[in-house]
Amino acid sequence: MTVARDTSLGPVSRLVNGILAIKPLANFAKRQARSMMIKRAEAVGVDWRRDAQDLRSRGGELDFDPAWERELEQIQNPDLIYPDYYLQPFHAYEQGNLSWEAATEVEVAAKAVHAQLWPEVGAAGTMKLRRNYLDALNSQLSAAPRDILDIGCSVGISTFTLQTAYPQAQITGVDLSPYFLAIAQYRCQQRSPELDNSPSPHPIRWMHTAAESTGLPDNTFDLVSAFLLFHELPRTATLKILREARRVLRPGGYFAMMDSNPRAEGYVKMPPYILTLLKSTEPFLDDYFTLDIEQAMVDAGFTRPDLTHTSPRHYTLIAQVCGGDEIELDK
């Protein structure tokens, strides 16, 4: 079984790793990366600090609405044991994804990061990326899935996109951050009036659990979707998640992922300074870039995936459970 694409990192990557091994330099790079993102957001008309603060206060008088803490308590799974990799600093946040600061900045960060993809659409780039993913799904899936699992659902942006495309589906969103899930649930309540014109019969189910061991029953989903998950994970976790996805999918079900394309020119030719900033906030990027994920999908029991370019830097891979009959999906 070969899943390593190229285990030898290039000289630029090795140099960058050497720099980031020196703690003060790594901390400097993280601060620079964060301020670059905030500036990038402002350049496309997104007021990072104000939008995050509005979410923390929910537009109320207090800086932080106490309802958040109550909702966090309700959504978090007290029995969950976090994998070690999830407890490390991440995305320039000391507490990684386990804080309100990180949770309330997810949406503005997505707008800032994806604003670069198509300069002509600016902050709308993140929605364009998601629409392109749906186009790839629609062209590959034989019919609309009835049961969908969104792994690494974060604050729900990918989950809501799936719900818009497949309003009749029962969708489950899974994430390790209860803070992110609390925001997802809040956004979901805010969306209800928006959905009133074409109400979805099934409310989204949010689950605080690990994608590598969801606890969900075998053979219960038609589509497992991983939108921007794997570049954030160590290789061992990715391989476990692929096996878990295979387990919960019905015969003939689909596994789809959208993520950075390691072969995209933007990454291959990335200037060392920018690569240093990127890697300072994405500790598992080397693992992701050197994994042959298409082969890993095959090894986990899927067909060889179809590849669609979803942006100049992203691709979508879609595969089907091997050896199953064509799934009976609603037409």
Ligand X SMILES: C[S@@+](CC[C@H](N)C(=O)[O-])C[C@H]1O[C@@H](n2cnc3c(N)ncnc32)[C@H](O)[C@@H]1O
Cα 243 versus chain centre, distance: 18
Query: What's the min distance (Å) between Cβ of 109 and ligand X?
Result: 9
**How is residue 205 annotated by DSSP?**
E
Q: Which two tokens stand for residue 45?
A: 């008309």
Give the HSE-up count for residue 48: Cα atoms under 13 Å, Cβ half-sphere.
21
Could you tell me if 163 and 191 are in contact, meaning their C-beta atoms sit under 8 angstroms apart? no
Q: From the CB of residue 94, how many other CB atoms can be counted at a distance below 10 Å?
A: 12
Q: Measured between alpha carbons, how far is 321 from 308 in angstroms, rounded to an integer? A: 19
CB of 315 to ligand X, least distance (A): 15
Tell me the Cα Rg of the chain: 19
Q: Which is nearer to ligand X, 28 or 86 (CB)?
A: 86
Specify the residue, 142 or 236, whose C-beta has the smaller distance to ligand X: 236
Please answer whether residues 162 and 136 qualify as being in contact, where contact means their C-beta atoms are separated by less than 8 angstroms. no
Cβ partners under 8 Å of residue 268, min gap 6: none
| Minimum gap (Å) between residue 8 Cβ and ligand X | 26
Phi, psi of 33 (to 5 degrees): -60, -45
- Smallest distance, ligand X to C-beta of residue 290, A: 19
Q: How far is the CB of 175 from ligand X (least distance, A)?
A: 4
Closest distance between ligand X and the C-beta of residue 15, in Å? 26
Report the residue number, 72 or 327, with the smaller CB distance to ligand X.
Answer: 72
| Minimum CB distance to ligand X smaller for 212 or for 286 | 212
Within 218-277, the residues that bind ligand X by CB under 6 A are 227-229, 232-233, 237
Per-position x/- string for 71-90, each x denoting binding to ligand X as judged by CB under 6 A, each - no binding: ---------------x----
Q: Is 211 in the site for ligand X (CB under 6 A)?
A: yes
Binding pattern for the stretch 146-185 against ligand X, x by CB under 6 A and - elsewhere: -----xxxx--xx---------------xxxx--x-----
For the four alpha carbons of 255, 111, 33 and 90, in that order, the dihedral sign comes to negative
- Between 28 and 85, CB nearer to ligand X: 85
Binding site for ligand X (CB under 6 A): 86, 97, 110, 151-154, 157-158, 174-177, 180, 210-212, 227-229, 232-233, 237
